[in-house]
C-alpha cells in the first residue's frame, strides 16, 4: 500500500490516547494559579478593609448619630440597619483628618442614604455635617451650619 497514511506514534503514547483526539495544553505552576490567587487576595483585602472601617470610632460615631437623629426616625421609621456605603473618603484640611462617610439606612417604613462628615477634635470624633436623601430625592440637612454635634459617648 504505497498511498496509505501512516499514523505516527510517539514514545509513551498508547493507541487509546490517540483515539480521543488532541488534549489541550494546560499551563502548570504558579502562572496557572496566579489569577485565582490575585482574585482571592483582592476579596480578602476588601473584606478586611470593610471590617476595619466598620469597627472604627468614626464609623461608630456616625452610626450613633444617625440612629439617634429624630429627622431620620421621621423619614424611615425606627432604624433597623445601618451599613457603610460608597463613596467614603478621607482628607486632611488644616492637618486634621476629615472623614466623609455614606451610610445606607434601612428603617421600618423606608430606606435612605445618609452622608456624614466627621472631624477629629481634641482626640474625639465630631459630626460636623450630615444630610440625607428623602423619598423625593431631595438632600435634606441634619445639622444646622455652625452647630457640630457633641462627640460620641457624651
User: Mean pLDDT, to the nearest integer, of 16-24?
Assistant: 61
The answer to whether position 83 is within a domain reads: yes
DSSP string, 111-152: EEEEEEEEEEETTEEEEEEEEEE-TTS-EEESS-TT-PPPPT
Here the CATH number for the domain that contains residue 68 is 3.10.450
Domain holding 122, by residue range, is 58-141
The answer to whether position 74 is within a domain reads: yes
The answer to whether position 66 is within a domain reads: yes
Pick the residue with more confidence: 77 or 148? Answer: 77
Quote the number of domains for the chain.
Answer: 1
Average pLDDT score over the chain: 85
pLDDT tens for 105-133 read: 999 999 999 999 999 988 999 999 999 99
Amino acid at each position: 500500500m504505497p498511498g496509505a497514511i501512516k499514523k505516527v506514534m510517539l514514545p509513551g503514547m498508547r493507541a487509546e490516547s490517540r483515539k480521543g483526539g488532541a488534549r489541550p495544553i494546560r499551563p502548570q505552576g504558579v502562572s496557572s494559579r496566579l489569577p485565582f490567587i490575585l482574585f482571592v487576595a483582592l476579596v480578602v483585602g476588601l473584606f478586611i478593609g470593610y471590617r476595619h472601617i466598620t469597627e472604627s470610632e468614626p464609623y461608630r460615631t456616625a452610626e450613633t448619630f444617625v440612629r439617634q437623629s429624630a429627622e431620620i426616625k421621621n423619614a424611615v421609621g425606627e432604624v433597623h440597619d445601618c451599613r457603610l456605603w460608597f463613596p467614603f473618603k478621607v482628607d486632611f484640611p488644616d492637618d486634621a483628618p476629615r472623614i466623609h462617610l455614606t451610610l445606607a439606612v434601612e428603617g421600618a417604613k423606608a430606606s435612605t442614604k445618609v452622608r456624614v462628615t466627621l472631624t477629629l477634635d481634641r482626640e474625639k470624633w465630631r459630626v460636623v455635617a450630615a444630610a440625607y436623601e428623602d423619598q423625593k430625592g431631595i438632600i435634606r440637612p441634619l445639622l444646622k451650619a455652625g452647630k457640630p454635634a457633641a462627640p460620641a459617648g457624651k
